[in-house]
């Protein structure tokens, strides 16, 4: 039987200096929908969007979109999208749902965005089909709904064949046409550890898009490249690409468990660097400045041609290493096992260190089988502004139960851990959507591992003074789902 060397108390001793607010209070699980009950072969749960017009959740999951009643979780309708291609994402603004659909026959060919009316749940009137770049993986409306931005990842079928250019399609929603197609290959570069420079045959592949509150900038995670692209939405041009650098796993507060085969779970200093390589990102404002929150998942090329192992007997011997970036005496691996906050120039303002891994260990949620490969694997980010505070939800893809870490990031220089939301019935949160409706805050979570979607309601107390925010969610218990600290069944 595998022995856990590091106890809960010891695990948290490794946590960097992050203040803890009181645990969540009155977070109530309202319902869970199992998408296998839809009865459609291959239907899963990956990306979720909320429609305030009809109070419904739209869940994209490979075979189509399941439209759920947000009040009780019942299935309203399944929308078959396989007739158009393979769906990757859904976004909704003011009663209009946009689907990102890749070409199923050959994903290196252009994909399509389909527009649906959320009231009729049928194709929208007027223009409802817009051709975009190869493999549209994610899409999002601007805050005012005037633009729809699509991240076309452009992943090749194989690296010996055609590699389409990764791009961002900017759709003018007035004319429902592509006003610009932006790629980053000619953009000026800054920062460090920007990977395409060291990998032949790979260009920038947009993964996720966040738009600034004022609508003037779009920030694009270039995950495999370990970069952040910036688009000027006034000119619709690529402004720059920022190399996100790397994280020193030998530094205090950054310790990791590097091995899945040593029979122990132990965070320790390791002579290796981790590339940040964010997946989901989000943008918010604090003190009049724009900040970007990044889930530093890490990723290899799809063919894993850049992945290897050192071998031998060192602490880093089992790590999946980035072969083109690793040199003798300088081991580089994938992912930072954390979430970060950066300013709009890419400067690192905050990083959670090993807090996510340490807290998962303390709660018995850590999967040691992933120690050699990105740890808890932070996947997605969702932000909610609650009573003047900005709350970040960080989805962890590789824990033993579905886990979402919750932090107060109102001041990016003084981040506070609030709690870890854990549910027994769900696994591998992929997409999250927070929203305010009928006087309540909600968080919906699409769980890829169990093909389930779960909705929670957050009951928040009266607004305290900022210096007493620790009392904001004080005394919270959890209703209807497994407790985080007490581990109730």
CA gap 165, 109 in Å, rounded: 10
CB atoms near residue 59 (< 10 Å)? 30
Q: What's residue 260's pLDDT?
A: 96
CA atoms within 13 A on the CB side of 302: 13
Of 397, 403, 319, 391, give the one whose Cα is nearest residue 362: 403
Using alpha carbons only, what angle is made at residue 472 by residues 470 and 478, rounded to the nearest 5 degrees?
A: 100
277 contacts: CB under 8 Å, gap ≥ 6: 223, 224, 226, 244, 296, 297, 298, 299, 334, 335, 336
CB atoms near residue 83 (< 10 Å)? 8
Cα distances (Å, whole numbers) of residue 412 to 32, 285, 420: 33, 10, 19
**Which residue is it, tokens 């200093």?**
269
Of 302, 339, 98, give the one whose Cα is nearest residue 221: 339
* Cβ pair 80, 67 in contact under 8 A: no
All domains in the chain, ordered by first residue = 81-244 (2.130.10.10)
Name the pTM for this structure.
Answer: 0.91
Q: pLDDT tens, 135-169?
A: 999 999 999 999 999 999 998 876 556 789 999 99
Per-residue pLDDT of the chain (489 residues; tens, 9 = 90+): 344 444 444 344 444 446 565 556 668 899 999 999 999 999 999 999 999 999 999 999 999 999 999 999 999 999 999 999 999 999 999 999 999 999 988 889 999 999 999 999 999 999 999 999 999 999 999 999 999 999 999 988 765 567 899 999 999 999 999 999 999 999 999 999 999 665 656 789 999 999 999 999 999 999 999 999 999 999 999 999 999 999 999 999 999 999 999 999 999 999 999 999 999 999 999 999 999 999 999 999 888 888 999 998 899 999 999 999 999 999 999 999 999 999 999 999 999 999 999 999 999 999 999 999 999 999 999 999 998 999 999 999 999 999 999 999 999 999 999 999 998 999 999 999 999 999 999 999 999 999 999 999 986 543 344 444 343 343 333 322 233 332 323
CA gap 441, 385 in Å, rounded: 9
CA gap 214, 142 in Å, rounded: 10
CA torsion, ordered 429, 433, 436, 441, to nearest 10 deg: 10
Of 59, 40, 41, give the one whose Cα is nearest residue 49: 59
Six-digit token pair at 241?
A: 């690409």
CA gap 378, 410 in Å, rounded: 20
* Cβ pair 53, 67 in contact under 8 A: no
321 contacts: CB under 8 Å, gap ≥ 6: 272, 307, 308, 309, 310, 331, 332, 333
Three-state DSSP state, 198: helix
CA atoms within 13 A on the CB side of 176: 14
CA gap 194, 429 in Å, rounded: 28
* Cβ pair 97, 49 in contact under 8 A: yes
Q: What's residue 403's pLDDT?
A: 97
Q: Do the strands 307-308 and 348-351 form a parallel or antiparallel pair, or are they unpaired?
A: unpaired
């Amino acid at each position: 039987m595998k022995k856990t060397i590091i106890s809960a108390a010891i695990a948290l001793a490794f946590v960097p200096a992050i203040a803890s607010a009181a645990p969540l209070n009155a977070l109530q699980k309202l319902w869970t929908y199992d998408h296998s009950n839809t009865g459609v072969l291959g239907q899963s749960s990956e990306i979720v969007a909320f429609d305030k017009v009809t109070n419904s959740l739209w869940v994209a999951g490979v075979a189509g979109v399941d439209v759920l009643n947000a009040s009780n979780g019942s299935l309203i309708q399944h929308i078959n999208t396989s007739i158009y291609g393979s769906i990757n994402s859904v976004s909704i603004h003011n009663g209009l749902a946009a689907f990102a659909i890749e070409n199923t026959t050959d994903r290196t060919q252009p994909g399509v965005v389909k527009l649906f009316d959320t009231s009729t749940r049928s194709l929208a009137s007027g223009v409802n089909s817009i051709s975009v770049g190869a493999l549209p993986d994610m899409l999002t409306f601007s805050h005012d709904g005037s633009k729809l931005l699509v991240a076309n990842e452009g992943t090749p079928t194989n690296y010996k064949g055609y590699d389409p250019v990764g791009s961002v399609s900017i759709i003018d929603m007035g004319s429902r046409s592509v006003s610009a197609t932006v790629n980053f290959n000619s953009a000026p570069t800054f920062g460090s550890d920007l990977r395409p420079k060291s990998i032949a045959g790979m260009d920038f592949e947009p993964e996720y898009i966040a738009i600034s509150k004022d609508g003037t900038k779009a920030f694009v995670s270039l995950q495999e490249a370990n970069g952040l692209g910036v688009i000027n939405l006034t000119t619709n041009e690529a402004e720059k690409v920022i190399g996100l650098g790397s994280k020193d796993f030998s530094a205090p507060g950054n310790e990791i468990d590097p091995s899945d085969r040593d029979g122990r779970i132990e965070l320790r200093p390791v002579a290796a660097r981790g590339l940040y390589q964010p997946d989901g990102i989000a943008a918010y404002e604090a003190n009049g400045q724009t900040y970007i929150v990044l889930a530093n998942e890490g990723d290899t090329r799809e063919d894993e041609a850049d992945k290897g192992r050192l071998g031998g007997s060192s602490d880093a011997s089992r790590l999946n290493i980035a072969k083109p970036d690793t040199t003798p005496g300088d081991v580089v691996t994938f992912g930072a096992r954390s979430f970060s906050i950066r300013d709009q120039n890419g400067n690192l303002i905050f990083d959670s260190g090993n807090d996510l891994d340490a807290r998962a260990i303390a709660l018995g949620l850590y999967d040691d089988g992933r120690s050699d490969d990105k740890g808890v694997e932070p996947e997605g980010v969702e932000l909610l502004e609650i009573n003047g505070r900005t709350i970040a939800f960080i989805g962890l893809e590789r824990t033993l139960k579905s886990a979402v870490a919750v932090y107060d990031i109102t001041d990016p220089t003084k981040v506070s851990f609030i709690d870890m939301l854990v549910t027994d019935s769900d696994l591998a949160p992929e997409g999250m959507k927070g929203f305010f409706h009928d006087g309540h805050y909600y968080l919906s979570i699409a769980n890829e591992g169990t093909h389930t979607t779960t909705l929670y309601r957050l009951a928040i107390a009266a607004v305290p003074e900022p210096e007493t925010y620790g009392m904001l969610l004080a005394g919270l218990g959890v209703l209807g789902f497994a407790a985080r600290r007490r581990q109730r069944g």
